[in-house]
Amino acid sequence: MPKSWRRETKPHKFCPGCGHGIALKALGQAIDELGLQGIAVFGCDIGCSLLAWDFFDLDTVQTHHGRTIPVMVGLKRARPELICIAYMGDGGGYAIGAQHLVNAATRNEKITAILINNTQYGMTGGQMAPTTLPGQKTETTPYGRDPEITGYPTQGPEMVAAITDERAYVARGTVARPGQLREFFKRALQNQIDGRGFSFVEVISACPTNWRTNAKETWEWVEKLMPTYFRVGELKVPEALRGKGVEVKDGETS
Amino acid sequence: MTGNEVVAWAALAAGAEIMYGYPITPQNEIMHYWTRLAPKYGRMFLQTEDELSAGFTTIGGVMGGRRAFTATAGPGNVLMQEPMAMAEMMRLPVVVIIMQRGGPSTGTVIYSQQEVTLTTLGGNGEGFRIVYSTAGNQELFDYVIKAFNTAWKYRFPTFVLGDGYQAKMREPLVIYDPEIRGLSPVPTEPFLGKPGVPGVDRLPGHYRNTYNTEEELYEVIMGLARAYEAIIPEVVEFEEEAVEGAELLVMSHGVVSRAVKSAVRALRRDGYPVGYFRPITLRPLPVEAMRRRAEKVRRILVAESAYGQFARLVKEALYGLQVEIVPLFKPGLGINPEEIYSRAQELIKGGEKGAEHIAATHA
């Protein structure tokens, strides 16, 4: 258990098989290894991510509707010495809160944004998200998502990489490779520690509850299906971070 | 100097450290002046992508322990209610300046008093917030300074409710150092990022606005309600004039109260028994003082540049009293002293007949 986890609130509140626990473990390890417990502030959103409001021994604020980015931006501007982590789901980052992600990235806000992509809205009961896969059945696409009507899955990190300057760090990790994910988080946080700029990590995650998948099907989904739409790896690495830490190779597991 | 400029100077005098803002008329010059002053005095500014962000970044700044504020108007005030509902739930000392414009929706960019309901009670929740309604530039200066102290002392979101006229009109102003008048800035304290390692040296600060059970939420809201009720006697403010022996009381707030005051003085001079009453805090309302005055008059004329938003507050405050409430509603339009004079004169002269007619109209 990472040192920065709050033992009193464990076991955590997420559903069995949920990817949040793995992502938050990797984040906890990254915070531990960088020694950030005394200066990191964790902001979480509405939706499943709100269940992390007392997850860490870190000062934490839970907000709603994709507003975790502006809360962390406001905090970072007011207290630049703090390490501000905005943690959200795909709705908070790509739908209802997309304007905040886009503009924080454009302004090169010196925060770290982490977005959990589980291809649908978990907390509200499994509706379509911007990340829902073509053909995927959700409560609001009961016959499968038709890209002609609702478009293709949002390529979040690709978008953020395109609109940020060279100081930004952008990666997409997966809960299927927690070791690699931890390294991505460390590099994203290091980018903030160094005061370079915006850092963004999307995490491919699992929602067996709303996917209605068993363990085997869940992992096939995460490991095989989702990476066909969402490429895992680092999309943008500032010069100062190159050659350090992980280099990502296709098919790597850790 | 214009009201918007006054706000920027007042925020500076109040020790505001950072403004987060998004442009909307008629309050834009607050940030125009702030961005000119701020670098010279070591203060900060961020222009956000919208009012949602302006409200939430202000929350972030406040939670970091900074005297942070924002300003907005009209449809921006609508968007601002989402962050302010969170500030209410977490009792965050957020300061917001509102310069009311006409509505609904885009409305006009000029003037109204149509943001009373939104500012006093807006957002999902009970409206545990403090709202000062100012009547001119000197009051803007005084109450912006006061708002920061009220917010940080009592920890409820605090609003200064101005309007398009106040924002744009030029009036003389006495600028002062609040310290000289004994108004020392109430110290701030961080909610997030306090000294020490959470879980090692201290407990972590875990702030949420989500609750899992009805009972849990009930406890939290009742706690807020008790805290809010307790501060009401310390916070409420009002102004009255010529109330002794009045048969008719004219109630108004904000800039309209200047026309009312002027009309009441003229009416008194001409021998009409008319009094003036103006709540300065619209939330909480000075209910006791309002009832004390209302009990002694036959009628109350409510003058406002809206279709009864303020009157609704008045009616609720006076519930159960045998006093007739007569409207003078001009949504989006200014009200001048002559209109108030002639309406009050009609009411005094008209006696019971006039009253019936008015009561029917109002119903």
Residue of A nearest to B53 (CA): A70
pLDDT at B123 (0 to 100): 87
**In this predicted model, what pLDDT tens digit does every residue of B14-31 receive, in sequence order?**
999 999 999 999 999 999
The dihedral over CA atoms of A62, A66, A71, A77, expressed in degrees to the nearest 10, equals 150
Q: Decide: A137 and A144 in contact? Cβ < 8 Å.
A: yes
- To test the contact with chain A by mutation, choose from B22, B44, B56, B70 the residue with the greatest count of A C-beta atoms within 10 A, namely B56
DSSP secondary structure letters along chain A: --TTB-GGG-S-SSPTT-SHHHHHHHHHHHHHHHT-TTTEEEEE-SSGGGGGTTSBSSEEEE--TT-HHHHHHHHHHH-TTSEEEEEEEHHHHHSTTHHHHHHHHHTT-S-EEEEEE-SEETTTTSEE-TTPPBT--BTTBTT-B-HHHH-SPP-HHHHHHHHS-TT-EEEEEETT-HHHHHHHHHHHHHHHHTT---EEEEEE---HHHHT--HHHHHHIIIIIHHHHS--EEEE--GGGTTSS----TT---
How many CA atoms lie within 13 Å of A191's alpha carbon, on the beta-carbon side? 30
For chain A, state the CA radius of gyration.
Answer: 17
Average pLDDT over residues B237-255: 98
Give the per-residue pLDDT at B327: 98
Average pLDDT for B247-258:
98
Distance from C-alpha of A182 to C-alpha of A164, rounded to nearest angstrom: 23
Q: Is B304 helix (H, G, I), strand (E, B) or coil?
A: strand
The answer to whether A78 contacts B191, with C-beta atoms less than 8 Å apart, is no
Are B48 and A39 in contact (CB < 8 Å)?
no
Tens-place pLDDT, residues B205-239: 999 999 999 999 999 999 999 999 999 999 999 99
Residues of A in Cβ contact (< 8 Å) with B18: 77-78
Q: Is the model's pTM score more than 0.90? A: yes
CA-CA distance, B227 to B345, in Å (whole number)? 43
Mean pLDDT over B57-75 rounds to: 98
What is the rounded average pLDDT of the residues B7-14? 98
Provide the β-strand partners of residue B303: B328
Taking the C-alpha atoms of residue B14 and residue B140, their distance in angstroms, rounded to an integer, is: 12
How does pLDDT run across A101-113, given as a tens digit for each residue? 999 999 999 999 9
Q: Comparing C-alpha atoms, which of B139, B108, B100 is closest to residue B304? A: B100
Share of chain A above pLDDT 90, in %: 94
What is the structure's pLDDT at A245? 58
**Pair type for strands B68-72 and B18-21:** parallel
User: Given B53, B60, B204, which is nearest A56 (Cβ)?
Assistant: B204
What residues have CB less than 8 Å from B258, skipping those under 6 apart? Answer: B135, B136
pLDDT tens digit string along B167-205? Answer: 999 999 999 999 999 999 999 999 999 999 999 999 999
Interface contact A61-B194, CB threshold 8 A: no
Minimal Cβ distance to A70: which of B18, B48, B193: B48
Instruction: Report the pLDDT value the prediction gives residue A231, as an integer from 0 to 100.
Output: 97
CA–CA distance, B88 with A218 (Å, rounded to integer): 41
pLDDT of B360 higher than 50: no
Q: pLDDT tens-digit profile of B290-318?
A: 999 999 999 999 999 999 999 999 999 99
Q: How far is residue A217 CA from its own chain's centroid? A: 22
How many CB atoms sit inside 10 A of residue B115's CB? 27
Name B243's Cβ contacts closer than 8 Å, sequence gap at least 6. B249, B275, B276, B277, B293, B296
B83 contacts B274 by C-beta, under 8 angstroms: no
Measure the CA–CA gap between B240 and B243, rounded to whole angstroms.
7
Listed in order, strand segments (DSSP E) in B124-252 are 130-133, 158-163, 206-207, 238-241, 248-251
> Does the pLDDT of residue B361 top 60, yes or no?
no
Reading the block at residue A165, the tokens are: 């300057």
Instruction: Dump pLDDT digits (tens) for B261-294.
Output: 999 999 999 999 999 999 999 999 999 999 999 9
CB-CB under 8 Å, A77 with B61: yes
Q: What is the DSSP string of B87-126?
A: HHHHT---EEEEEE---STT--SS--STTHHHHHH-SSS-
For residue A249, what are the contacts with CB-CB under 8 A and spacing of at least 6? none
Q: Apex CA B14: angle with CA B10 and CA B19, to 5°?
A: 75
Residues 6+ apart with CB under 8 A from A208: A15, A16, A17, A18, A214, A215, A218
SS3 B285: coil
B86/A60 CB distance under 8 A: no
Residues pairing with B21 in the sheet? B47
The length of chain A, given as a count of residues:
254
Percent of chain B with pLDDT over 90: 96
Residues A113, A130: Cα–Cα separation, whole Å = 17
- CA-wise closest residue to B73 among B45, B53, B102, B48: B102
Chain A residues with CB under 8 Å of B48 CB are 70, 73, 103
CA nearest A38 in B: which residue?
Answer: B197
Q: Distance between CA atoms of A19 and A35, rounded to whole angstroms?
A: 24
pLDDT at B296: 96
Q: What pLDDT score was predicted for residue A248?
A: 55
Could you report the predicted ipTM of this complex, rounded to two decimals?
A: 0.95
Encoded tokens for B249: 């009381």
On the CB side of B41, how many CA atoms lie within 13 Å of its CA? 18
What single-letter DSSP state applies at residue B306? S
Element (H, E) at B291: helix B287-294
At residue B350, the pLDDT reads: 83
Under-50 pLDDT residues of chain A: 251, 253-254
